[in-house]
Amino acid sequence: MLRNYIYNFSYVDNENESYFTYSVDNTSILSRFIMDFSGQVQQLTWLEGTKQWNLFWSQPRQMCEVYGFCGPFGVCSESTDNFCQCLHGFTQTSPNEWNLSDRSGGCSRTTNLNCGNNTAVNSQKDRFHTLSYMNPPGDPQTPDVGSEKQCEAACLDNCNCTAYAYEGSICSIWMGDLFNVQQYNPGDSNGKTLYLRLAASEVPDSPKKNNTVIIAGSVGAAAVAALLVIVLLGAWRWRSRGGRTKRPSLFPRVEDPRLEYEIPNCTWNCKRIDVSP
């Protein structure tokens, strides 16, 4: 402890008991230690001038470091006002407690996993949702696998596995409820990628898949447009040639609207006969 510190601390640990005590050198200073509902230990001193308690010391220093602060399947972020929110595919287990700033009850799945129920009609295998810039929970299992696909399969084959991560050829998988998941700010070099297991209906399509659909749709539309142009061009050329194929005739039509008949081919002393009234 630093010299001239206003508190004197002592810790006793023996075969019979373990306890911690403190005292204040200056008896005029009012001080108290508390552990609030978040699990954070706080030391406060009374300020006579403002008539209020002042936070003098706390541990852990950041709320997201408090174990289980956001409960199971909750994610903590120091950049948000209320610190906690539910992971994708989960909802607040007790909204009333959350409204009272107690998030220790955590979150529950919106849709149950399909693992162990693959015999159901139209069943789909569970899938994984990608979470970027995360601080994963502690104490993972590390199966011996040779690739990320094998790591994913190791989690998918175990109905108790709820998430996995693969980094630097090391596979990490987590069983049961996830505690102490933390969200870092985008671009934070400390952030890791966590793959969260969800029911297939809860996993949004990946950008890669969406791009494939968009490209396929664009190519299909272009092909239809090109075919339409070819058909219209062919129709225009067909009409420009008379609309149908003319058959040869022994009696070519005389281009005179007053004539209602055809005459044989004339090669000598031909005269036009006017039959109009």
> What percentage of the chain exceeds 70 in pLDDT?
72
Say yes or no: 169 and 132 in one domain: yes
Gap between the Cα atoms of 76 and 83, Å rounded: 5
pLDDT over threshold 70, residue 51: yes
pLDDT over threshold 70, residue 153: yes
Of 96, 103, 105, 59, the residue nearest 81 (C-alpha)? 103
Boundaries of domain holding 137: 74-111+124-202
| Residues linked to residue 181 through DSSP beta bridges, in sequence order | 75
Say yes or no: 128 and 33 in one domain: no
Say yes or no: 130 and 41 in one domain: no
Tokens 């909750």 locate to: 74
The pLDDT confidence band at residue 135, using thresholds 50, 70 and 90, is: very high
Say yes or no: 50 and 83 in one domain: no
- The number of CA neighbours under 13 Å toward the Cβ of 66 is 25
Per the model's pLDDT, the better-predicted residue between 123 and 139 turns out to be 139
Encoded tokens for 72: 């199971």
Say yes or no: 38 and 82 in one domain: no
How many domains is the chain built from?
Answer: 2
pLDDT over threshold 60, residue 165: yes
pLDDT at 227: 74
**Residue 170, SS3 per DSSP:** strand
Q: Which of 187, 202, 217 is the last residue of a domain?
A: 202
Say yes or no: 90 and 159 in one domain: yes
Say yes or no: 16 and 98 in one domain: no
Gap between the Cα atoms of 85 and 71, Å rounded: 10
Say yes or no: 45 and 78 in one domain: no
Give the tens place of pLDDT for each residue, 215-244. Answer: 545 555 666 667 776 777 776 676 666 655
The pLDDT confidence band at residue 213, using thresholds 50, 70 and 90, is: very low
Q: Which of 164, 186, 202 is the last residue of a domain?
A: 202
Comparing 49-63, 92-106, 160-174, which segment has the lowest mean pLDDT?
49-63
> What percentage of the chain exceeds 90 in pLDDT?
48
Gap between the Cα atoms of 132 and 123, Å rounded: 28
Gap between the Cα atoms of 59 and 45, Å rounded: 16
